[in-house]
Amino acid sequence: MTNNDLTIKEITEEYKEVGNFLNTRWPLKDKNQQIFARTMKVVEELGELADEILTSMNLARDTKIASFSRENMEDEFADVLASLILLGNELDIDIEKGIRKKLKFTRDRFGMEEKSK
């Protein structure tokens, strides 16, 4: 791992700061509204990523296809991941623990070897 690599824990911690900032800057009535807003944001960002993917496959309007860039798709992918992490934080989910558990589940399910460290 290089100094520039980010762990899930580091990313999650950074987004806790971002989430706290957003909740202070744009306060909502209560925790349920914050969770609702974060959930809708995931859906919104997923739609934007889907739009970029459709464009990359030449399945969008010509004007959109002309403006397609790989960088836009990567940005939208990052937006989806960020919005999902923000939602996980809002729900007090231990994201790293959940990912580890699911990776193990998937490896076990398909009889894959444990990844060597």
In the complex, the smallest distance separating the C-beta of residue 59 from Mg ion, rounded to whole angstroms, is 19
Residues 6+ apart with CB under 8 A from 48: 76, 79, 80
In the complex, the smallest distance separating the C-beta of residue 47 from Mg ion, rounded to whole angstroms, is 9
Exposure string of 48-62, with b = 16+ CB inside 10 Å and e = fewer, is: bbebbeebeeeebee
| Residue 77, CA distances (Å) to 1, 46, 81 in order | 22, 8, 6
Query: In this chain, which residue has its C-beta nearest to Mg ion?
Result: 79
In the complex, the smallest distance separating the C-beta of residue 60 from Mg ion, rounded to whole angstroms, is 16
* C-alpha radius of gyration, the chain, whole number: 18
The smaller minimum CB distance to Mg ion, of residues 26 and 110, is found at 26
The smaller minimum CB distance to Mg ion, of residues 29 and 70, is found at 70
> Binding residues for Mg ion, per CB under 5 A?
45, 48, 76, 79
In the complex, the smallest distance separating the C-beta of residue 85 from Mg ion, rounded to whole angstroms, is 14
The smaller minimum CB distance to Mg ion, of residues 45 and 90, is found at 45
The smaller minimum CB distance to Mg ion, of residues 78 and 103, is found at 78
Helix axes 70-90, 8-25, angle to 10 degrees: 80
